[in-house]
Structures are given as C-alpha cells and as structure tokens.
Amino acid sequence: MVARSLVRHAILQFRPEKARPKENLARLGEHLQALRPHTPEVVVLPEAALTGYFLQGGVRELALTRHELLELLSQVHKEVGWEGLLDVVVGFYERDEGAYYNSAAYLELPHRVVHVHRKVFLPTYGVFDEERYLARGRRVEAFNTRFGRVAILICEDFWHSITSAIAALDGAEVIYVPAASPARGFQGERPENVERWRTLARAVAAEHGLYVVLSSLVGFEGGKGMSGGSLVVGPEGRLLAEAPLFEEAALIVDLDRERIPPVRYDSPLLSDLEAALPLLLPDLERVLGREGR
C-alpha cells in the first residue's frame, strides 16, 4: 500500500489527573469528540498522558502492557463512535515481564499496536528520578505506518543528537516526541526549556529534512508546572504551529510528505551523513573502547 502524502495531525496538549487513568481516558474521549469535525488521521499525545509523569513508585500499580493499552484506547475509540481507523501516538508507563518502562506506543485504532518505543535516556538529576523506578530502553528505530515511515523519541531521547540521526538514517520522515517538561529558567518571556525545545526541533528538522512533532504535558504535579509549548516543525526547519503555554490545546496541522524529497535534494545533509558514516564508525568504536582501558 502506497502512503498518501498529506496527513492531518492533531497534536493534543493534554493535562492528565495524576494517577487517575480512568478519568483521563474519559477526558481523552471528550477531546476526541471535539476533534471529530477536524477529521484528524493521527492524534499525538504527550509522555505519560494517561497517568501523569511524576508517579515514582506508583508506576508499578499503574503500568500497562501494550495489549492492555490497546484494549483501553480501542474502547475509547468505540465509545466516541469514531468512524474508521484512527492512529494515535501516546505516552504510557509499560509493564513487561516484571520490568517497567517509560514508553510511547503508535496504535492503529481499533485493531493493532504498530510499534512501542521505550525511553533510552532516563533523566535522574534535579527534579527527575526515572532510573530509580524504570528500566532503560535499548533501541532507536523507525517503523512503517499506513502514512509512511516514522520514529518516536521520548522527551530527553530527543535532546541527544545521535538518536534523531539514527531515526533519520533508518528512514523516518516524521519524528514524534511525546514529552513532559517542567518549566524552568524564567529569565525571558518564555521558560528556557521551551526555548530549548524550539531550537532543538528546528535544528533536527532542518538537518535531516523531516517533520518534528512535539506533544507536551501541561498541568501541575507536586508543585512542578509542565510548560506545554507543543509544536510542529517542517523539513525546512520552519515552525508550522505552536501551542500556548500552561493550558490545554490542540494543534491541527497537515503534514505533506511530498515536501521532504525536494528539501533533502537542496540540502543533502542526511545523504552526506549516510555516505560518511562508514568512515566515522572506527572512531565511534575507538571512543567506546576507551571505557575498557
């Protein structure tokens, strides 16, 4: 099946009630009902959207298997009365054979789990304590959807340039970034973390000639305010849409896959990276080998 070039996305800047998944699923249904007139084909939700982010030890009680997640969201899809398929990117805490992960799933509702990404970079500094409670993901990879090849990176995963490079080299045309980013650094008009997200998203999109879709939590958990500022950046590195700070919002954006080939032709940074990577692999191996010295 050949993927269509123009795909309507709804980026849902969501405020969950901490540790209350039943209520959050009901509110998600209300949001989907409100989105129906806009006919999105892909809905993108933030990191830990169904439970809130700062669960700590509560992860064990609220984590889901990927199949339980599919069952819950398929029920929401049914209750809303959504006609036809709906693709959803959603962050959740995952349980798998006694291990727990900060994960994000790409679902094709109501039928299947297309892919699950497990967060590789677990922040354990400042207000963050993820590695104390969670196992680390071990892979970054692109995957096929009915709308083309995409990848998911969760929050800090995206702050490391190597992860986006791997996703792009693996064929991703869109990188989805579910995030939960507490506001910090209020020296200017916008929090410094929001400015950092905007800078990173524009740089990654322009370097690799792809779309970056960031969906960020809002709300307060334990006195920490999630900033929001969800955004979409096109393959030229141009900001296409941006949500307000500290409040729920939905961005409706059509992503045009046909923009990607001409952008990559005019700025062939990704093909240059692909050509040069074999030359750089000995240096990567040398740097990794230092650990054993």
Q: How far apart are CA 150 and CA 48, in angstroms?
A: 20
Going from the N-terminus, what domains does the chain have, and what CATH number goes with each? Answer: 6-268 (3.60.110.10)
Three-state secondary structure call for residue 257: helix
pLDDT value at 187 more than 80: no
Helix ranges, the chain (H): 21-35, 59-62, 66-80, 130-133, 161-169, 192-208, 260-266, 269-289
Q: Are 9 and 45 in contact (CB under 8 A)?
A: no
pTM over 0.85: yes
pLDDT value at 290 more than 80: no
pLDDT value at 259 more than 60: yes
Q: Residue 291: what pLDDT?
A: 58
Residues 3-7, mean pLDDT to the nearest whole number = 81
Residues 237-249, mean pLDDT to the nearest whole number = 97
Q: How far apart are CA 243 and CA 216, in angstroms?
A: 9
pLDDT value at 1 more than 60: no
Q: Residue 223: what pLDDT?
A: 85
Q: Residue 189: what pLDDT?
A: 79
Kindly report, residue by residue over 89-112, the tens digit of the pLDDT.
999 999 999 999 999 999 999 999
Three-state secondary structure call for residue 53: coil
Residues 130-138, mean pLDDT to the nearest whole number = 97
Edge-first strand order for the sheet with 239-242 is 143-145, 148-152, 174-179, 211-216, 231-233, 239-242
Kindly report, residue by residue over 23-77, the tens digit of the pLDDT.
999 999 999 999 999 999 999 999 999 999 999 999 999 999 999 999 999 999 9
Three-state secondary structure call for residue 143: strand
Please report, rounded to a whole number, the percentage of residues in the chain having pLDDT higher than 70. 98
Note the residue count of the chain. Answer: 293
Q: How far apart are CA 203 and CA 230, in angstroms?
A: 16
Q: Residue 188: what pLDDT?
A: 73
Q: Residue 22: what pLDDT?
A: 98
pLDDT value at 186 more than 90: no
Q: How far apart are CA 184 and CA 117, in angstroms?
A: 27
Q: Are 14 and 248 in contact (CB under 8 A)?
A: yes
For the chain, give the mean pLDDT: 96
pLDDT value at 292 more than 70: no
Residues 6+ apart with CB under 8 A from 56: 129, 132, 133
Please report, rounded to a whole number, the percentage of residues in the chain having pLDDT higher than 90. 93
DSSP label of 135: P
Q: How far apart are CA 170 and CA 186, in angstroms?
A: 37
Structure tokens of 18?
Answer: 């901490």
